[in-house]
Amino acid sequence: MAQAATASAGHGEIDEHHWTSTGLDTRKLAIWGFIGSECLFFASLIATYLVYRGKSLVGPLPHTESQCMMHGKMQACEAIFEIPLVTFGTAVLLFSSLFVVLALYGAQKGDRKMLITWLSATVLCGLFFVGMQVYEFYHFFHKGLGYSTNLFSSTFYTLTGFHGSHVTLGVIWLSTMLVLALRGKLPPEKALNLELAALYWHFVDVVWIVIFPVVYLMR
Amino acid sequence: MSAHATHGHGDDHGHSHPTPRTYLGVGVILFALTALEVLAYEVGHRPTWPLHGMVEPIVVPILLILSAFKFFLVAAFYMHLKQDSKLFSNLFVWPIVLAIALAMALVVLFNYWVKETY
């Protein structure tokens, strides 16, 4: 910290990195510490989902037909998950991780075109994923699955909702990076700013890598 | 990262980051693994499909292994843990170990020790 914003000897430029006694940047250490804490946060949500899995007394249920309360009376409800849509969303999120490392590569090499192209693609993928989740929630709600309908709905909406809010924050963060890049304010020496956002984005991706099979594919 | 290297403070221990070609290769593998996950799910839950009898009992382990592999690929290559300081790996790996222990403890407690108390 003490070395923050000090002039680099012999270079005549401002060193904006926040070095620690380990030689590592404090901001990068901080984001990794934050990601570590987020692992425990999502683990508790996933564990809660698993604990209550298969214990719902009424439908709608994720994979099987069930009896559920619709319009004030009990009736048969179909399985609620749409695996093809979520698989597509998962693929889009995975591609966004690829796109953001390509954008970071462009930022580090000073290739502005590469940076802007791939960062725009990442933001678009993120927006698509959020849109998919909004559509899914809307669709589920209209099939009778409210937040407090059953144990499945409460744990499902909490887990995927928190993940979705993380994706939304990631999209906002990456969008600010895109604006900086468009204004020419993301030169190679400031590529770490994008790297921090990219680390957060990859974390959001790896959380989904766990959620997708555990929630959607395991019956 | 680049600034680290420039100033000699590097936290990547002299290793260069992967090239776009590597990133693309990892992306293709991730996509293929996701396709395998969905295939395992479909085969495991459709009695009329070939190999159903063989895959059905091991669908969950298959999904967990594929998901763990995808997790590893993203962390190692896209998050640069393979090249970066070991301290970053420790900041990520140990919370994951703790997270898995936490999840397993909760599932065991609620499914085997707590009997329908809610």
Contact list, B102 vs chain A (CB under 8 Å): 40, 43-44, 47
The CATH H-level superfamily of A30-217 is Cytochrome c oxidase, subunit III, four-helix bundle (1.20.120.80)
DSSP B58: G
Cα atoms in the 13 Å half-sphere on the side-chain side of B40: 23
Per the CB < 8 Å rule, is A209 touching B70?
A: yes
pLDDT at A124: 98
User: Where are chain B's structural domains?
Assistant: 2-84, 85-118
Integer distance in angstroms from the first to the last C-alpha of chain B? Answer: 52
Please tell me which of the candidates A35, A97, A100 has its beta carbon nearest to residue B92: A35
Contact list, A97 vs chain B (CB under 8 Å): 27, 30, 74, 78
Contact list, A91 vs chain B (CB under 8 Å): 31, 34
Residue B86 pLDDT greater than 80, yes or no? yes
> Which of the pair, A103 or B109, is modelled with greater confidence?
A103
A209, A211, A214: best to mutate for the B interface, most B CBs within 10 A? A209
> Lowest-pLDDT range, A176-180, A181-185, B37-41?
B37-41
Could you report the per-residue pLDDT of A133-170, keeping only the tens digit for each? 999 999 999 888 999 999 999 999 999 999 999 999 99
Residue A172 pLDDT greater than 80, yes or no? yes
pLDDT at B18: 84
Per the CB < 8 Å rule, is A44 touching B102?
A: yes
User: Where are chain A's structural domains?
Assistant: 30-217
Could you report the per-residue pLDDT of B58-77, keeping only the tens digit for each? 988 999 999 999 999 999 99
Per the CB < 8 Å rule, is B1 touching A90?
A: no
Q: Which of A218, A88, A209 is nearest to B69 (CA)?
A: A209
The reported pTM is: 0.86
